């Protein structure tokens, strides 16, 4: 009974105390403000996640576009360069490529782990699918090489890869030229290319010789 009277008087004193209601109101206001701040933080977080996801998707698209491998038939490229609509820069580039592939140039020949060099500053490097992995180690005169000409002479080599990372130390390299003595398509060559780098222009030609 004594405890009940004490509790009743305590509640009565609090509910009749103006400070009690003021403090309660203050706590409610602070709680509402905290809730609003929390909502803003959550909203900002969601906006950040959305923004980051959007940017990341765009970067992935750019990366995927930059990884698209283009392989061009070299004869088609030369014929197209003759058109009046082609820029002078493109014409000069085609003329340079034609000079490298049709005129005698200082060259390095790397076949079957053997290297033969003709000329002081070779600009052409000739190799084949079996020797491609060794050119970086075997060829010492890399500084002026502008084109690597890779021979394909049997169908089994179509299952091999052309790893462009192996050519990274050829600083002036601009052209990769696939010279095939068997039927091959641009899409088949695309499937063979690994570690693509857009600084290289990739061409091919089917030349069966007298067969």
**pLDDT averaged over the chain?**
82
Asked if residue 35 belongs to a domain, the reply is yes
Question: Is the distance from CB of 114 to CB of 190 less than 8 angstroms?
Answer: no
Statement to judge: residues 184 and 89 lie in one domain: yes
Statement to judge: residues 146 and 196 lie in one domain: yes
Query: Which one of 66, 90, 115 terminates a domain?
Result: 66
Give me the pLDDT at residue 189, please. Answer: 96
Statement to judge: residues 19 and 119 lie in one domain: no
Statement to judge: residues 90 and 61 lie in one domain: no
Give me the pLDDT at residue 12, please. Answer: 45
Please write the tens of the pLDDT for every residue from 114-126.
999 999 999 999 9
Asked if residue 192 belongs to a domain, the reply is yes
Give me the pLDDT at residue 136, please. Answer: 95
Separation between Cα atoms, residue 131 and residue 112, nearest integer Å: 6
Statement to judge: residues 152 and 54 lie in one domain: no
Which range of residues forms the domain containing residue 93? Answer: 71-206
Count how many domains the chain has: 2
SS3 181: coil
Statement to judge: residues 106 and 141 lie in one domain: yes
Q: How far is CA 117 from CA 100, 153, 179, in A?
A: 16, 22, 20
Asked if residue 211 belongs to a domain, the reply is no
Statement to judge: residues 110 and 21 lie in one domain: no
Statement to judge: residues 78 and 176 lie in one domain: yes
Q: Which of 11-15, 37-41, 49-53 has the lowest mean pLDDT?
A: 11-15
Flag whether the pTM goes above 0.75: no
């Amino acid at each position: 009974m004594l405890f009940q009277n004490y509790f009743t008087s305590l509640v009565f004193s609090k509910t009749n105390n103006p400070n009690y209601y003021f403090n309660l109101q203050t706590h409610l206001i602070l709680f509402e403000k905290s809730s609003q701040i929390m909502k803003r933080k959550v909203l900002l977080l969601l906006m950040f996640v959305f923004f980051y996801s959007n940017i990341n998707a765009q970067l992935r698209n750019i990366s995927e576009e930059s990884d698209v491998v283009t392989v061009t038939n070299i004869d088609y490229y030369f014929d197209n360069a003759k058109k009046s609509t082609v820029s002078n820069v493109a014409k000069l580039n085609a003329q340079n490529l034609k000079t490298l592939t049709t005129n005698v140039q200082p060259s390095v020949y790397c076949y079957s782990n053997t290297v033969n060099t003709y000329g002081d500053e070779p600009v052409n490097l000739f190799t084949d699918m079996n020797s491609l992995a060794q050119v970086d180690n075997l060829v010492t005169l890399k500084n002026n090489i502008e084109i690597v000409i890779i021979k394909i002479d049997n169908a089994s080599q179509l299952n091999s890869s052309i790893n462009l990372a192996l050519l990274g130390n050829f600083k002036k390299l601009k052209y990769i030229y696939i010279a095939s003595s068997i039927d091959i398509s641009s899409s088949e060559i695309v499937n063979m290319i690994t570690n693509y780098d857009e600084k290289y222009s990739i061409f091919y030609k089917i030349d069966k010789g007298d067969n």
